[in-house]
Amino acid sequence: LMSTMAAFLNKHFTCANKLSISWISATRSLCQSASEVLFHESNGKLLVTLNRPTALNALNINMAKMMFEKLKKTNTDNSIKMVILKGAGNRAFCAGGDIRGFHVLIFLLTALALSIKNNDGLVEEFFREEYKLNYLIGKFRVPFVSLIDGIVMGGGVGLSVHGTFRVATERTVFAMPETAIGLFPDVGGSFFLPRLKNKLGFYLGLTGARLSGEDVFEAGIATHYVHSKWMPELQFELINAKEINSRSIKTILDSYHRKSITSDREFCLNFCLPKIEKLFSVATVEELFHKLKEDGSQWATECLETMKKMSPTSLKITLRQLKAGMGLEFRECFQMEYRISQRCVKEHDLTEGIRAALLDKDKTPKWIPGTLEEVTEEDIDKYFKVLPAERELYLP
């Protein structure tokens, strides 16, 4: 083990050291990178811009803290009637949480035999701040409009999908790809995914499948679809609207939606929605694999081959998480996810998944356990257990 760590540190020392220093600095000072999130108030509206276009507006802990503090104050400010959230540039709304630097830091702390207590503090802060922000957006006092023009994955989904209105464009690419890195579809995934039609959320959460453009609207993830060429005009109209409430905002969004949407276009998954509903209504992942193999169609075979590459543990966590989320309230979903997250970061698969996907980029993670059969229900139980009272996530 130590020789493996030494080899890893030797190979990645320069990159990892820079990432670690950068992440620590970000968590210790909210003033250092204030330009990563821009806030502009005008006519009783707050425009929030994720401003890391070269990093695809990936969300780091500094940004999450700044947004939470600003939105918390805004939520009690009666002069603000609407919040608009967008990403800088034309490539991404938010490509997810900036987990690469964070997890390299955790790996280094462990490799250097630093206190596990320190590790816990960093881990808790990362997920706690993100989930607090997601929950606040979902419970916001005034209409919350997300202009999802570009990539929206993982942490970016958590910033947008819980808001009042979500506007997709032809450049929108949606995915929850966490099972491929030894994690699970968090940021409220246990609430919104199982509530999508035809078990579509189970399919998206387990396979990490992507949706783009109008299909993000057709799936029920976005509330509207507007062509990107209309987005500047739409933003201007929202900012300058005199009457602001959910009904008036919907009227504005509906008008742009009508002139953008393709009336005779079919949802890309229409042909297999009945199969998705049938095949993904299962009690276990093993049963799902068996049904997909038994189906034998090209689509089912592709689903099966995709999931065979995922962490077996993550797949089993995800299925149980989504099934549980169907019966939980919004707050309870985040509390469950927080418990799972605190266990995942201590296990092999997340470190290995990050290594294979983001560091070495060899795309060949070696999961432990390596098969579904080796992952018992008792193994999964521990991810869902209540944390000690002082470590639980408490939400208003």
Which candidate in 155, 163, 189, 205 is catalytic?
A: 155
Radius of gyration of the chain (CA): 21
Q: Measured between alpha carbons, how far is 361 from 228 in angstroms, rounded to an integer?
A: 32
129 is known as an active-site residue: no
155 is known as an active-site residue: yes
Which candidate in 36, 87, 96, 97 is catalytic?
A: 97
186 is known as an active-site residue: yes
Q: Measured between alpha carbons, how far is 30 from 27 in angstroms, rounded to an integer?
A: 7
Which candidate in 36, 178, 218, 349 is catalytic?
A: 178
Which candidate in 36, 149, 186, 218 is catalytic?
A: 186
97 is known as an active-site residue: yes
Residues catalogued as catalytic: 97, 155, 178, 186
